[in-house]
Structure 1
């Protein structure tokens, strides 16, 4: 039975991309609603591969993954888009649509979800102002700096208030002041109930979210120095 507050559960999950050794091995953990997780580890430890499993872009080679109470391995592929709409993703390489403006890139998830245009302009403008891009709403990605593209990608990921936000090195292309501001945006979403998973190699970030839980990957295996893998659901307010 699904535990109260459970977002996702991994049971003995392994991943290999070819006949070579597994890049992820024996992953068993549960992520709970309303928690803030940092995923750390050296370059090549498997952080991006684990995130791909979390946002259902990759199927494991073995084991079971349950998302929102549903077996994500055996469910019909036709139902995957429904699950994915509950997951916000900040990609390391941004993946902005090049021919769309910053505004239209951020608005894209709302339009795909069927929101009316009259309900889109306000939230999109607000989030772009919050990430410091109020004067760049009409700019296309090619005219934006790397840091500006990163902020558009983050705004797009959070605009739909997802149940879980998965971010791969989200502060890697911005200055320290903006990195802290973006981290505060993630915290705000977390306080509203969104489960946040931030993959980072920046150990300074870990100290900036006092209630965060740390999951550490080492050569494809997880350790949890703050008990993240065993943490119970947060009690209702």
Structure 2
């Protein structure tokens, strides 16, 4: 099976300090679902930044979608990033756009015509429970509502890879489960999903999901599972 991402002895250092990430080697396959865990300061957000091409590593090799991601020319980066959905911990919604327009943004960037936008965006608004807030600006939304909009924006274009940093941190348990179902549905369509979380209860929700655990910048994979294609996912009732 062709991989989506391959890390080979990757290290990341900020400035002249000690390495934040050290000797990371793993493979992510199409349709895989990973929970990225670890204590605060373990390097989870730094690893996510490498995955969505916000940073380049200090050393090692990264291949993404069959290409060398480190030597990728800058003019090709935007095209690569459009293949990756990102849920940021600080949401990063466009403040002057409505809920509807924030969610529709990736489709518009991809060149989808306006007449084809309404149906998928309306369906997504219904799924995240914000139909009545379609015209609201981000400043008028609660933290949990903003988080739901950020997630909807990340998944609506059916990216090849979804990277989510604490995506359920601002929502109640029932909505967290609903959002996890959304990720699982996207995953079954072939999207590779990486969810960074402190919530160990999420790990119990999906059979077949694999765990990537960071400890002081090093990846723990005692079973070697990160080198093999995933098992089918089953969302628990």
Picking from 5, 8, 14, the partner of 2:5 is 8
| Deviation (angstroms), 1:228 | 3.4
Q: Which runs of 5+ in 2 are unaligned?
A: 233-237
Query: What SS is found at the alignment partner of 1:98?
Result: coil
Query: What SS is found at the alignment partner of 1:165?
Result: strand
Q: Tell me the TM-score normalized by structure 2.
A: 0.95
Q: Is the 8 A contact 2:208 2:230 kept in 1?
A: no
Q: Tell me the TM-score normalized by structure 1.
A: 0.95
The residue aligned with 1:24 is 21
Picking from 105, 108, 129, the partner of 1:108 is 105
Deviations 1:49-86 (A, max 9, x none): 00000000111111111110000111211111111111
Deviations 1:81-130 (A, max 9, x none): 11111100000000000000000001111111111001111101111110
Q: How many pairs are equivalent?
A: 232
Q: Is the 8 A contact 1:5 1:32 kept in 2?
A: yes
| Deviation (angstroms), 1:29 | 0.6
Q: Which runs of 5+ in 1 are unaligned?
A: none
CA separation of 1:180/1:234 partners in 2, compared to 1, >3 Å: closer, same or farther? Answer: closer
| Residue 131, structure 1, aligned to residue 115, structure 2 | no
Q: List aligned pairs for 1:57-136, cutoff 5 A.
A: 57-136=54-133
Q: Is the 8 A contact 1:6 1:233 kept in 2?
A: no
Which whole-Å CA distance do the structure 1 matches of 2:206 and 2:225 have between them?
Answer: 14
Which whole-Å CA distance do the structure 2 matches of 1:119 and 1:11 have between them?
Answer: 41
What is the alpha-carbon root mean square deviation over aligned residues?
1.2
After TM superposition, where is structure 1 displaced by more than 4 Å over at least 4 residues in a row? none
Which whole-Å CA distance do the structure 1 matches of 2:201 and 2:231 have between them?
Answer: 25
Query: What SS is found at the alignment partner of 1:13?
Result: strand
Deviations 1:190-212 (A, max 9, x none): 11111110000111100101110
